[in-house]
Structure 1
Amino acid sequence: MADARSPSDRYRQGMSTRRKVLGDAHVDRASAASTPFDQPFQEMITEGAWGTVWSRSGISKRERSMITIALLAALGHDEEVAMHVRATANTGASREDVCEALMHVAIYAGVPAANRAFKIAKQVFEQMDAGDTGGGSHD
């Protein structure tokens, strides 16, 4: 964290969950790329997204993964789609799950959004099959 404060419990939980979902290599890259300018943002997403939403017990990581991919695809956030498709290796969401989530995107958010996301997912799965863990967003 940027100042002398010790990390909050929510931050520690968030970092643990973030590492479980995105993997240590991704989180280490994001942390290394962080600067004083974006450190408050990194803290906020670690506490909010990862320590609050992703750490809740109401639904599984697999289900959260599917929801997240669908939302990101619907909003056209391509780098984030790729990052969360890579994360399916850790969340338990299968390729069939991703396909089903993107089918929902086609109906509820539009065919062009789903078409773009299918292309991204196919590319990411090909990279994963080839052993490439990829880079991507600093989320």
Structure 2
Amino acid sequence: MSKPQHGDRYVEGMATRRSVLGDAHVDRAEAAKTEFDIPFQELITEAAWSHVWSRPHITRRERSMITIALLAALKQDEEVAMHIRASVNTGATRDDIREALLHVAIYAGVPAANHAMKIARKTFDEIDAQAG
């Protein structure tokens, strides 16, 4: 696999991605990428992590809450759990996440919020178990 040249947006996005998701997660994702999905990985690094997550207008805590709510509404289970784990890096508290999921119940439906609450509880249990 040839190593692509990356511009400023990619570098900024990768720094933000690492800051939010953690080095271990990003290292696993980078190790798992293939020739097929390199363009997709570059797209999300530049578009999501640089163009959106790196903007200064709202905090990472707020972005985290918005992201979790949107992913819960869309029933993106793995992404909900990933971003709940990332909340330890963004400053979004368990209370913040609960409040975001209450909004999901009203604006996207109780079943979606109920399912996301289960994911949140399971993810918090995993975080607590790892913390020992």
TM > 0.5: yes
Which residue does the alignment assign to 1:88? 87
The residue type equivalent to 2:34 in the other structure is T
Which residue does the alignment assign to 2:127? 128
For the aligned residue pairs, the C-alpha RMSD in angstroms reads 1.2
Distance in 2 (alpha carbons) for counterparts of 1:108 and 1:6: 42
Residue 111 of structure 1, CA deviation: 0.2
How many residues align structurally?
131
Counterparts of 1:1-139 in structure 2, within 5 Å, are 5-131=4-130
Q: Could you list the per-position Cα deviations for residues 16-62 of structure 1 after superposition, in whole angstroms to 9, with x for gaps in the alignment?
A: 00000000000000000100011100000000000110000000000
Residue 3 of structure 1, CA deviation: 5.2
TM-score calculated relative to the size of structure 2: 0.96
Distance in 2 (alpha carbons) for counterparts of 1:105 and 1:83: 18
TM-score calculated relative to the size of structure 1: 0.91
Which residue does the alignment assign to 1:137? none
Q: Could you list the per-position Cα deviations for residues 65-90 of structure 1 after superposition, in whole angstroms to 9, with x for gaps in the alignment?
A: 00000000000100000000000010
Q: Alignment partner of 1:80: what SS?
A: helix
Unaligned segments of structure 2, at least 5 residues: none
Kindly indicate which of the two structures has a greater share of residues assigned to helix.
Answer: 2
Unaligned segments of structure 1, at least 5 residues: 133-139
Distance in 1 (alpha carbons) for counterparts of 2:3 and 2:42: 14
Distance in 2 (alpha carbons) for counterparts of 1:90 and 1:14: 16
The residue type equivalent to 1:107 in the other structure is I
Higher relative contact order (CA 8 A, sep 6+): 1
Residue 6 of structure 1, CA deviation: 1.8
Distance in 1 (alpha carbons) for counterparts of 2:77 and 2:103: 17
Alignment identity in percent? 67
